[in-house]
Amino acid sequence: MIVSVIGGTGPQGLGIAERLSIAGVEVIVGSRKEEKALDVVAKAKEDLAGYNLNMTGMANEDAAKVGDVLILTVPLAAQKPTVEGIKEFCTDKIVMDATVPLETAIGGKPFRFVDLMEGSAAERTAKILEGTGAKVICAFCNISNSHLANIPEEIDCDCLIAGDDKEAKEIAAEIIDKIPGIKTIDTGILEKARIIEKITPLLIGLNIKYKSHYGGLRITGIPKIR
């Protein structure tokens, strides 16, 4: 299985790509420009020379075409054009969306949420991909970039996911759980993304208040059933 991280040259996307690659997943890092993706992958392999990273770089469109599972890691302002640009390659694929509607998209505070007409960023992606058979899943919204970059330390955080296709969520969870320390929790239908995405600005605010970079979320008392 090939996992393509769309918009994967930023801190979140690269962190996810590195973590999954270290765990043995074949990963493609996508970018608007192939050259940037190739440069970022080359630097990652240099920085993590002790690991056998199975990573390559491509333009987002090519990454989406080759990937079996896609992970979208772009800022809110880039979400719509990026999804529209890869739409033709999303047919019947699992698309994990890590987009969070933060006020930074309009020059505001990072701990403030922007309400979207569709209800959530993940639902907006689903709306754009309507008719393609893509299974959209809200995922990775509450895992900090600092946690992802802190290799090889385990990530002390749960990953809340939401989506309408049970089998797709099970596959997504199998991929996410390859990252040491993370436990994936299925919260239900895609509409629950409206709640999941709002947790992120809360965590950002807590990190600012307590001068940390590693604030995360653990759900207790829930058995892991898969």
Could you read off the pLDDT tens digit of each residue along the chain, which spans 226 residues?
999 999 999 999 999 999 999 999 999 999 999 999 999 999 999 999 999 999 999 999 999 999 999 999 999 989 999 999 999 999 999 999 999 987 565 566 666 667 778 889 999 999 999 999 999 999 999 999 999 999 999 999 999 999 999 999 999 999 999 999 999 999 999 999 999 999 988 888 888 889 888 888 999 998 765 5
The model's pTM is 0.93
> How many Å separate Cα 91 from the centre of its chain?
19
CATH number of 2-209: 3.40.50.720
pLDDT of res. 107? 64
